[in-house]
Structure 1
Amino acid sequence: MATAGEGSASDGTGKLNRLASEKSPYLLQHASNPVDWFPWSEEAFSVAKRENKLIFLSVGYSTCHWCHVMERESFENPDIAKIMNANFINVKVDREERPDVDKVYMTFVTSVSGSGGWPMSVWLTPDLKPIYGGTYFPPNNRYYGHPGFTELLVSIASQWKEDEGKFKESGKKIMEVLDRTSRLSLSAQSDLPGEEAIAR
């Protein structure tokens, strides 16, 4: 089995990331990205807590057009990958493999942005509370009114370093609201997950 550090990457370093040992075709598509991807795992969460870093969660699926566009524009870009690797624990999820994780964070994204889709991009506190999210982000501020991924990475990392307590409190409040919302909708939809799906 390939491990991080073996193989051939798109950035020319000859390294594969942790996704190289996964079974999901979608995750394997990202195994040669210069981004230091983790699968959804206790290892990723432990590293985030130990290093006190935010988690960048990217959720998609193998036939998603905009997932491939964001990979090509951002995740294969060594400069963007360097910012991601220095400031975040980066987690890649196949929504077809983990629909429970997808559903929890898509509920958040649609709640804050009014729409959803893939790729889903969500920033989480080390204890998996969402603080910011959206779908596809262009690599830079090239579209009016649509923030660039690079600028978002730099801004969110800077704000976390300045006042992580604000983010932790915000993430906690967001989860409380989402939990209340899901409990209110139980009569109409009993399968909406709560925090327990995040912990799995």
Structure 2
Amino acid sequence: MKKFSLFFHPAEIDLSFSPFALRLDNQTYQIMKASDENIADLLGLEQEVYFGRTPWSRFSFKSELKKHANSLYLVVYQGSTLVGFVGMRMQAQEGHITNIAVKPAFQKRGIGGFLLRTMIEIAQKNHAVQMTLEVRSDNYNAQSLYRKIGFRDNFIRKNYYSAEHADAVSMIKKIADREQEEVN
């Protein structure tokens, strides 16, 4: 019965996060919660990653950053340069990656994987049993990273990116709740 307890009586979501410095690939990065002050940098990074487009608008970021009860956005800086970010929304027993991007010059250095694993850990602490995300069906590099971390294809969302008439692959990763692991 304990297995179903969290479903019927969801635990309070704790998305607290303390900033810290990280050393990866002989470089030092600062990881912190995103705030409104980061929006200009977030939009700039999106333009660089998405070839001049910004899939998310200023309003979208501002709106998501206000959802403190169930959303967490992290930014990664090297000095004053934003090199990556990730967003997650907690819903029921699922962590959903809403957005992730790493500056092209900083890709393949472990930043994206670190951000995903960090969100998985936070979701586990909040009793999530799975993680989900969508990725463009033609973004093979991102899909490869997600698969290395344990995400699997779930289904295709036709015309998910309507502005570009592009499909998305919905991906899922089953994760174990640490408390549940201790019970078993």
- Is the pair's TM-score, using the shorter chain for normalization, greater than 0.5? no
Greater percentage in helix: 1
Greater percentage in strand: 2
